[in-house]
Amino acid sequence: MSKARYRSAEWFAREGKYGFLPRSWTKSQGFSSDLLDGRPIIGICNTWSELTSCNRHLRDLAEHVKRGVLMAGGLPLEFPVTSLGEPLMRPTTMMFRNLVSMDVEETIRANPIDGVVLLAGCDKTTPALLMGAASCDIPTIMVSGGPMLNGRFRGRKLGSGTDVFRLDEEYRTGQLDRADLDAAEAAMSRSAGSCMTMGTASTMASIVEAMGMALPMNGTIPAVDSRRAVLAQKSGTRIVEMVQAGITMSQILTRESFENAVRVTGAIGGSTNAVVHLLALAGRLGVEFALDDWDRLGRDIPCLVDLKPAGRFLMEEFFEAGGVPVVMNRIADKLQLNARTVDGRTIGEIIAGAVCYDDDVIRPLERPLTHDGGLMILRGNLAPGGAVLKPAAASPALLQHRGRALVFKDADDLRARIDDPDLDVDADTVLVLQNAGPRGYPGMPEVGSMALPKKLLQQGVTDMVRISDARMSGTAFGTVVLHVTPESAIGGPLALVQTGDIIVLDAAARRVDVELDAAELARRRAELVLRSPHYERGYGRLFVDHVQQADRGVDFDFLVGHSGTPPSKVSF
């Protein structure tokens, strides 16, 4: 192989001091000259952090990637980027997804990296790394951290996130005490890995596999299973081959792979968060892919995977049943089978002959979990720019609903009043949350699946129609209209709704409306006073000044597109 073939030769193959400095300082890590003599340099982009428990094993996994890179004749160099841990970060990890993407993009471009392996796990780490790498467009493979082991508590299966909502309701209604909750906490999260429900992390890892950005079974192998280490090793070998063949990310992530991602999201009952992440990723790559594609492409897709939050099982069972290839095999006639993958085969070749080992977990087409697996995109006078609804997580009876609005001005107002025994609310009320969108909160947090009022929980109410410009955790459930665009903080119609207005949800017609005429809406708009942004300086200011709305994936306006990795100036 010729030194000049690789981008890293601009650093390591130069004569004089321009080559001496990068070679000498890199050799200080104990590398011999031949390791820097024309081999492809593979960056291993790692979101390991003790502040991100879901990703705490990724340093171990990186060692297996390195083994594969070395076996194939490359030189692996691991580098950290900012990590995003859902349970700890405030106000919301979504506010920092774009920041991490910038970290990834600029680190790749500024360094002698010929190909990159992305190590991600917890929800936003996956899209953040993909977006950053996409804006560089070099050969790229993702290795997900994998789901944690199933939770078990007193004979019950506990699913990450999903059962937190149920346990919280049982605690609030006196069915559990504090000691019970302590025991449940330990029983739910009992190994390394990401949430083992079909939440956002599992959705994104499965989508990454379906889009061909990872090797087969990336989406489902448990984090602590030795087969994930093998997948990491094979990914290390494969990225070297991709560099040698010049296979870049944009050759894998085409319009066809985005179409497959939408359909697989429906078939696995995936998270609504995939909507904003894939829109942002498409924007980086210049792929024509819009919000309405989610509805159009997902409309005839049944949900086949019986996993929490929509169903019964967890990721260990999904893996044992055959994982994403089986799901794709079952909906093969809806897929773009010629889409390329990092594996080197087409997706059609990978999924051909996939065998299902448990038809209760991955159901056959004749026996789906729900017929409407795809996400719905709603319009109407409340959401002229669109809104998202996950029918698989909703109560069928509420998908056609007319009810009186109960408005909360923001998440603090919601928390302060939702359990007020005097709250004027019944099961038909529509809960409306304002100022929780990309700019308003800011960061569009996962507060859209508002907790139900305590007094209704005590009456046995389990679901209500809820509407907001926020997102919802992939592990949550309910008849929840999300991502209302434009958001209330910039004067979207959601900001004009008042308690007592009549809201109509007509999912079949893909509409969500408030029964107010144009004159009344105009009168209220004239009186609307917008709040000042929360941040005056720093990254928060950058965020509120440049974040786009949900229908654009909540990416920054100045990050859309890609710049490749042009040669940079030498600064010494």
Q: Minimum CB separation from ligand FES for residue 199, in Å?
A: 6
d(CA 373, CA 14): 55
CB of residue 287 to ligand FES, shortest distance in Å: 26
Of the two residues 81 and 504, which places its CB atom closer to ligand FES in the complex?
81
Minimum distance, C-beta of residue 201 to ligand FES, in the bound complex (Å): 4
Q: Which of 37, 117, 24 has the alpha carbon at shortest distance from 76?
A: 117
- Strand ranges in 262-399 using DSSP code E only, listed in sequence order: 376-378, 386-389
CA dihedral (570, 559, 475, 142) in degrees, to 10, reads -40
Residue of 301, 302, 306 lying closest to 360 (CA atoms)? 306
The residue type at 12: F
Q: What are the respective helix, strand and coil percentages of the chain, to the nearest 5?
A: 40, 15, 45
Cα 276 to Cα 555: distance, rounded to the nearest angstrom: 9
The distance of closest approach from Cβ of residue 218 to ligand FES in the complex, given in angstroms and rounded to an integer, is: 15
Q: Closer CB to ligand FES, residue 273 or residue 429?
A: 273
Residue partners of 414: CB distance under 8 A and separation at least 6: 408, 433, 447, 450
Binding site for ligand FES (CB under 6 A): 54, 86-87, 122-123, 160, 194-195, 199, 201
Residue placing its CB nearer to ligand FES in the complex, 47 or 98: 47
In angstroms, give the least distance from the CB of 194 to ligand FES: 3
Sheet holding 480-485, edge to edge: 376-378, 386-389, 480-485, 466-468, 430-433, 400-408, 502-506, 511-514
Q: Which is nearer to ligand FES, 201 or 229 (CB)?
A: 201
| Beta pairing partners, 408 | 433
Q: Give me the residue label for tokens 């302060």.
A: 416
In whole angstroms, the minimum distance from the beta carbon of 89 to ligand FES comes to: 10
- Pick between residue 159 and residue 478 the one whose CB is nearest to ligand FES: 159
Q: Over the Cα atoms of the chain, what is R_g?
A: 24
Residue 202 Cβ vs ligand FES, minimum distance, rounded to whole Å = 8
For residues 198 and 239, which CB has a smaller minimum distance to ligand FES in the complex?
198
Q: Which is nearer to ligand FES, 315 or 496 (CB)?
A: 315
Smallest gap from Cβ 145 to ligand FES, in A, equals 9
- Name the residue nearer to ligand FES (CB basis): 54 or 276: 54
Place of tokens 């063949």: 245
